[in-house]
Amino acid sequence: MTETSLAYDSVIVRFGSEIGVKSRPVRLRYEKLVAKHVRKALRVHGIPFDRLEHSFGRLYVRTSEAEEASKAISCVFGVSSTSPALSTSSSLEDIMDRGLEVARSVLKPGSTFAVRCRRVGQHPYTSLDVCRLLGERILAELGHMGLKVNLEAPDRTVYVEIRDDEAYIYTAIREGVGGYPLGVQGKVIGLLSGGIDSPVACWLAMRRGCLVVPVHFDIKPFTDDRLIEKALELARVLAGWSLGAVRHVYVVPFGRVLEQVRSSCPERLTCVLCKRFMYRIAEQLASREKADGLVTGDAIGEQASQTLKNMKVIDAALASLPVHRPLLCFDKADTVRLARRIGTYDISSLPDAGCSAVPKKPTTAARLEDVLKAEEALDVEGLVHDAVSRAEKRKIEGPLPLPKEY
């Protein structure tokens, strides 16, 4: 029997370790929500399942497509890992028989192995008994394969997890996304550009339990159509991660603002002024959406507008909303790695025309008094009001691109 021909019938789902340290009621509430999202993930992926059992700290899913289910569930926020497993009763005889079946399918001739057991409930045997007896049984029945026990660094481990009347046998642990269940930390507005950073920043906020409503500022005629197309496609990918919890994106016509900034203000201040307008508009949309903060893809020093001094001046445009910058201290390589992993990199890397409003020498150290003086030449309130009133709330239509694996 080969490894793939063994028909696993269950998936063990482990909750994120940070959920485990919450008080009991909070923990239960979070776990129930993860369970709800797991059900939803299986449904939207079209993976059949007949039972989903929630036992403090774990979820046991009964499904004929354990491998696919394990992958899909590992992409649910709040899940730290999953394992396709073979289920059986907690009788020692069944555990030995099924354990042997699993061992036969995964152990290679001449390899080393270990058996590990976790047990919750009352049983006439100890965990150590299970490890010893199953190890002996494997050696006895598969003796011709030249197997050896190695408890320190085995090639493969056969895990047995026993919960009351049931037992699960597995050999693989698939890493999950971790974090908190989506929605438990409220809502934020995600400033989604079309580049590499902002979708990753939004995703990181989602992983911490925030619902992220994306907002894209359409800077045409200072770019072409490709930028907005990328942003909309990125919003779809994020909606897929949210399992459809957020299915709209705001598109704000921003060309008029940029035109005014370009024609009436010192060129070197363009990017700082541009960002201050974006923040003011996003703050108004946040109040409409009852969101408690903004999320951006800024990283210290990455662009002229992202120096510490400029970020300070840009943030001063906000009346009361905080800006959250999940990538503040990320190196680009870390962001790119994550972007690839969550499926946004290829879209972000598509060519676009960039922003032609960016000056040759943008300031890296704007002074607030200069910026305020520059803004005196503009009808700031009127421009913000105009952009907000023309902001379009677009529904993200059609089937979502679902994350297949983390």
Q: List interacting residues with Mg ion (CB under 5 A).
A: 197, 297, 302
Complex with ligand ATP: residue 34 or 252, whichever CB lies closer: 252
Contact stretch for ligand ATP (CB under 6 A) within 86-94, 150-158, 186-194, 256-264: 186-194
Residues 234/399, Cβ–Cβ less than 8 Å:
no
Complex with ligand ATP: residue 33 or 383, whichever CB lies closer: 383
Half-sphere exposure (CA, 13 Å, Cβ side) for 109? 3
Complex with ligand ATP: residue 176 or 190, whichever CB lies closer: 190
Tokens 């677009």 identify what position?
A: 394
Nearest approach, Cβ of residue 181 and ligand ATP (Å): 24
Q: Which does 217 bind (CB under 5 to 8 A by kind): ligand ATP, Mg ion, none?
A: ligand ATP
- 79 forms beta bridges with 15
**Which is nearest to 29 in space by CA: 211, 209, 177?**
209
Q: Which does 191 bind (CB under 5 to 8 A by kind): Mg ion, ligand ATP, none?
A: ligand ATP
The residue nearest ligand ATP at its CB is: 195
Binding mask 282-311 for ligand ATP (x = CB under 6 A): --------------xxx---xx-xx-----
**Contacting residues for 299 by C-beta, under 8 A, at least 6 apart:** 197, 306, 325, 327, 328, 329, 330, 332, 335
Residue 395: its H or E element: strand 392-395
Complex with ligand ATP: residue 43 or 256, whichever CB lies closer: 256
Work out whether 191 is an interface residue with ligand ATP (CB under 6 A): yes
- To 5 degrees, how large is the angle CA 277–CA 281–CA 282? 115
Give the E-state strand segments of 265-371 in sequence order. 294-295, 323-324
Residues 194/228, Cβ–Cβ less than 8 Å:
yes
From candidates 198, 270, 284, 310, binder to ligand ATP by CB under 6 A: 198
Binding mask 229-248 for ligand ATP (x = CB under 6 A): --------------------
Tokens 């997890």 identify what position?
A: 161
**Contacting residues for 340 by C-beta, under 8 A, at least 6 apart:** none
Count CB atoms within 10 A of the CB of residue 393.
13
Binding mask 199-228 for ligand ATP (x = CB under 6 A): ----------------xxx-x---------
**Which is nearest to 115 in space by CA: 60, 15, 102, 281?**
102
Complex with ligand ATP: residue 62 or 337, whichever CB lies closer: 337
Work out whether 193 is an interface residue with ligand ATP (CB under 6 A): yes
Complex with Mg ion: residue 81 or 193, whichever CB lies closer: 193
Nearest approach, Cβ of residue 249 and ligand ATP (Å): 10
Chain residues that interact with ligand ATP, rule: CB under 6 A: 191-193, 195-198, 215-217, 219, 296-298, 302-303, 305-306
